[in-house]
Structure 1
Amino acid sequence: MKQITFDHIYTLGHVVYENNQYRHFHYPEMLIRYDSNFLDFKKFPSLLELKEAENYLRLFHLKYGQKHVKFYFPANEKPTVEILDYLHHSGYETGYLELYSIEPAQFPIVEYNPDIEVDYVTEKNFETFLKLQYEQDLQFGSEFADEKVKLHKRNFRDEMVIQIMAFYKGIPAGSVDVMIAGETAEIDNLNVNESFQRKGIGSRLQQFVTEEFSDKTIILVADGEDTPKEMYRRQNYQYLGFKYETQKIYKD
């Protein structure tokens, strides 16, 4: 297949405006989700262009009661010192994402543990899945957790989104969403309940994905400053590139 890039990553949102410099993604179904309401730069802006884009997005979001602005910069390009200084002194949080892929046959063998069961989310266990997700999302506030419940319900009806859940000794312990595209299966929202971490549940969830979608390239995006990326490297995922992101949350 063609080289995997960030363009293969699933974006939950609608392009409501586009010009030569950026695409504007908006998701009225969940305004509080920053990763669905942002500007994605096609080419690196000058400081003046960044400020103009910032003003445009801020005014747009104010119409919908949104209190943030967020930008993604072009892949594999680091912001200039001038732009980083501006973002820092303006109260932005800046970080970067890393893109990984793996062919299913390259995923390492996971030792069988009879205490762990992994299966698809169905009508039968959907309420259990929602409860598990709600408990995990509460760390971001009840409003966000409530909105995520609605999103999970929309995803359940979307045939391109596969929801998978793991149980440890019969207790819901973790989950993952898989976004299906032509030649790829994207791992997203891989979560393991804190009480069940370091038991191999995350690896079993990934193994399930590689076995069920063995005809596709498995892809994922990791926080470049977080530890899970080291796990992916140990699991034979191939590093494909990086992408800087920045966001600011206004108090009023």
Structure 2
Amino acid sequence: MEQFTFKHTNTIGHLIEGNELYDQYHYPEMPIRYDSSFIEFRRMPTLADFQQAEQYLTAFHQQHDQHHLRFYFADNQKPAGDLLEYISHQNYDIGFMELYVINPLDFPHIINTDITIEEVTDITLDDYLKLQYEADMEFGETFAKQKVGLNKHQFEANQYVQVIAYYHGDPAGTMDIYVGEKAVEIENLEVRSEFQRKGIGSQLQRYAMDRYHDSAILLIADGEDTPREMYQKQNYRYLSYKYELLKIVK
């Protein structure tokens, strides 16, 4: 199997600047989406490097009425020393993501006749949008409303497959599949709270495994969240990590 990195995963955002130190992405279509407007370092910056990039991104986002600073570090590199001390004192939220891969043949075979999984169509799009809206309300009403436009755009795009789960006929969960050049990525897997622990998340993944059985399947997990433990039990293989910073600027 090919050696995959975070570069093989999907980025919703436009690359607008690149130099030897970092790449900058911007997504004016949804400025409130923090994960789409950011700087990603190609190597670990010095403290002076970081402060210069921070100053630049602050001014850029102010010009575009954006109220956040988001930075990603290079794969498998953790900030330390005076850089870590600085970002800690600057009230950044520090987290990390983990990248996993699986051969679809290794995913557990699960069958539950109470659950129906299908690709979103014109007929089921409203159900999908409503479930996504409910999940996105965690990040505020403005975000949830703007995300509707992104979801509709991806519904029309060839590289995305949107999937919905029904439990006894009731809309219960959603999942997005991004079809890349060398791998398929599972994104935005969500199950309504009242339908959790019924195997719906596993059945959604099973759909991706069956549909793309000849492709490697990638998945990004929050390095500090419990679902990553479920993925490990489902035979996903850990590949790498990436540290991230976020600060909301008033």
State the TM bucket, normalised to the shorter chain.
over 0.9
Matching residue of 1:145:
144
| Distance (Å, rounded) in 2 between the aligned partners of 1:45 and 1:171 | 49
RMSD: 0.8
The AA in structure 2 aligned to 1:199 is: K
The AA in structure 1 aligned to 2:147 is: K
The AA in structure 2 aligned to 1:128 is: D
| Distance (Å, rounded) in 2 between the aligned partners of 1:18 and 1:96 | 23
TM-score between the two structures when normalised by the length of structure 2: 0.98
Matching residue of 1:10:
10
Deviations 1:137-176 (A, max 9, x none): 1121110000110000000010101000001111111111
| Distance (Å, rounded) in 2 between the aligned partners of 1:77 and 1:178 | 28
| Distance (Å, rounded) in 2 between the aligned partners of 1:16 and 1:96 | 24
Matching residue of 1:89:
89
Identity within the alignment, %: 47
| Distance (Å, rounded) in 2 between the aligned partners of 1:139 and 1:100 | 25
| Distance (Å, rounded) in 2 between the aligned partners of 1:200 and 1:248 | 35
| Distance (Å, rounded) in 2 between the aligned partners of 1:81 and 1:93 | 17
Deviations 1:177-232 (A, max 9, x none): 00001231100001111111100000000001000011110001100000000000
Q: CA deviation at 1:135?
A: 1.2
- After TM superposition, list the pairs within 5 Å mapping 1:1-252 onto structure 2: 1-110=1-110, 112-251=111-250
The AA in structure 2 aligned to 1:141 is: G
Deviations 1:60-96 (A, max 9, x none): 0001100001100010111113222211110100010
| Distance (Å, rounded) in 2 between the aligned partners of 1:88 and 1:175 | 36
CA contact (8 A) 2:187 2:219 kept: yes
Q: CA deviation at 1:2?
A: 2.8
TM-score between the two structures when normalised by the length of structure 1: 0.98
In structure 2, stretches of 5+ residues that fail to align are: none
The AA in structure 1 aligned to 2:160 is: V
- Paired residues in the alignment total 250
| Distance (Å, rounded) in 2 between the aligned partners of 1:84 and 1:207 | 40
